[in-house]
Copies of this chain bind each other. A is one copy, B any other.
Amino acid sequence: MNTAVILAGGVGSRMGVDRPKQYLLVQDKPIIAYCLDIFQLHNNIDKIVIVVSDEWKSYVEECVEKYGITKICGYAPAGKTRQHSIYNGLKCINENAGETDVCIIHDAARPLVSDEIIDDCITGAIEEDGAMPVISVKDTIYQSSDGKSIDNLLNRSQLFAGQAPESFNFKKYFEVHNSVTDEEIGNTAGSSEIAYRHGMKIRLVKGSERNLKITTIEDLETFETILNN
């Protein structure tokens, strides 16, 4: 059983508009609906959990109805951080989960993920403990422990920028969350980070520049351009 956890709990937007980015309309359809379509239509996804703030829950329920998303198995409340939201989503899956079940964590604001990336992530989570799509890092990254001067060089060929969906053996990943403090969950920068830190082996799979998270007006324009082509 493979369950997607779609993170739609964010309440802000850097775009100076009146709603969170995942609910912006593109060609009259909210961004989250494009994302849900992909998981609804994907053969290897069995169920979908949506993490959403109370304020937007009825709106999301209407979207689910309107766009025929039938794989929904539950809604979870948004947490105080992204990783808390993930934990809430996992709790929704827990009741009937088997040893080999996989959870696939995705952002509602990444509506351009390919079927292939989803497949690769699921395979990685089955064959190892988890998987994450990555792309190369474009910036030149320097390390500084005090933020004042360079004190280490990083080998750029060994650096990767993480994308979503991050996929995990559900039981192992859920157990990690049950075993750590609330503070550690809050201090997690990426959902694979907490898994790796607690001994899970995380495979890197090929991500895509196209699988962008819509954050800025420029991202939104890129998405519209891709839709039009």
Which residues of A are at the interface with B, using a C-beta cutoff of 8 A?
128, 132, 134, 137, 139-145, 147-150, 153-154, 156, 158-162, 189-190, 192-193, 196-197, 201-204, 218, 221-222
Contact B222 A150 (CB under 8 A): no
Work out how many copies of this chain go into the complex.
2
* Smallest beta-carbon distance A201→chain B, Å: 6
Indicate if the CB atoms of A142 and B134 lie closer than 8 Å: yes
| CB pairs A–B below 8 angstroms (28 shown) | A140-B161, A140-B162, A140-B189, A141-B141, A141-B159, A141-B162, A142-B159, A142-B161, A142-B162, A142-B192, A143-B159, A143-B160, A144-B158, A144-B160, A144-B204, A147-B158, A147-B160, A149-B201, A149-B202, A149-B203, A149-B204, A150-B192, A150-B196, A153-B196, A153-B197, A154-B154, A218-B218, A221-B221
Q: Give the secondary structure class of A's interface.
A: mixed
